[in-house]
Amino acid sequence: MRLACRPETRHSSAPMTSPATAPSSARLVSRFEEFASANEQAIDVALGAALIARDVYDDLDVASVLARFEELAGPITRLGLAQMPPEAQALELAHYLYERQGFAGNEADYYDPKNSLLPDVLERRLGIPITLALVYCEVAKRVGVPAQGVGFPGHFLVRIERRIESNLPPVMVDPFFGGRTLDEKALLSLLRRVVGPSETLRAEHLAPASPRIILARMLTNLKAVYLARGENSRALLALDRLVTLTPDAPFALRERGMLAARLGSIEVARADLNRFLELNPEGTEAQAVRARLQSLGAARHWLN
């Protein structure tokens, strides 16, 4: 179900983009709904991130945003990074992206929504871990470096795979702090700061994240930022995109339904909350949802 509610205000102009043309290897879809309906192998994270940003910037040229990655990668395409070991690849990429190109984690204003919007990240060279990881991986793949995003708890990371069979683990990179590499001790320390002092590092913490999961996490971040700023209609649109991307994710449906109810979209709220109960009929969350549905039913009767 697509919500009709849109943000009260939208920016009329996007950050500056170059006039370069986008790669012609694939047709660029123009609607998020069409994009989200593709199978997992066809999901392009950079394209998805650009389409999400177009909800904020009406005039965003998606093709030009994507072409920025070709421009970024251009100066290092002849360095032979593909033939280097992953430790050297990480050093070269860190030097190029963070020292020469000036990308950095936005520690001063971490919760600025621009940190989650791809055109702004490319323009300002500032972001949060997940958007900087996107930039890192997009540049890496254009120069032959097998880098993938990792949905580490609380702090998105990048892993660089080893091309030859080896007993050594992949190289883990922190895209927020200068592209530094993290050994097992550093990873465990980071995990315990985020989750708790008794947590243990497990293989799933370091597993590559699927494109759909990466975009879902980006949208979840945006939603949280907008809610904290009181921009509820923007948060609702982020949830709308999240549900479109992951239509059977119970808690996305529940959260969109609850927020829609607060904003007066009762029919949308009822549909989302009923679907949540179909997918998740037990537990304390289900009890709260049933109670909310009852109150919505009473409100609907009063309105009639």
Q: Which CATH number is 246's domain given?
A: 1.25.40.10
pLDDT given at position 29: 75
Instruction: Calculate mean pLDDT across residues 21-40.
Output: 73
Please check whether residues 57 and 202 belong to one and the same domain. Answer: yes
- Indicate the SS3 state at residue 86: helix
pLDDT at 302 over 50: no
Q: 14-28, 90-104, 278-292: which has the minimum mean pLDDT? A: 14-28
- Model confidence pLDDT, tens digit, residues 215-226: 999 999 999 999
Would you state the pLDDT for residue 63?
A: 95
For 106-119, what is the mean pLDDT?
98
Pick 22 or 251 by higher pLDDT: 251
Number of domains forming the structure of the chain: 2
Range of the domain at 88: 32-206
Q: Are residues 187 and 282 in the same domain?
A: no
Report pLDDT for 275.
95
Coil vs helix vs strand at 11: strand
Long-range contacts of 252-255 (CB under 8 A, 24+ apart): 252/216, 253/279, 254/280, 254/285, 254/289, 255/223
Residue 111 has pLDDT above 60, yes or no: yes
- Inform me whether the pLDDT recorded for 301 exceeds 90: no
In the numeric block, which tokens belong to residue 117? 């919007």
Domain annotation covers residue 17: no
Tell whether 36 and 138 lie within a shared domain.
yes
Q: Tell me if 264 is assigned to some domain.
A: yes
Is the model's pLDDT at 22 over the cut of 80? no
Burial class (CB in 10 A: 0-12, 13-18, 19+), 79: middle
Shared domain for 107 and 150, answered yes or no, is yes
Selection from 209, 243, 211 nearest residue 42 by Cα: 211
Q: Which of 189, 206, 223 is the last residue of a domain?
A: 206
pLDDT category at 298 given cuts 50, 70, 90 is low
Q: What is the pLDDT of residues 239-291, one digit of tens each?
A: 999 999 999 999 999 999 999 999 999 999 999 999 999 999 998 899 999 99
pLDDT (0 to 100) of residue 300? 56
Do 272 and 173 share a structural domain?
no
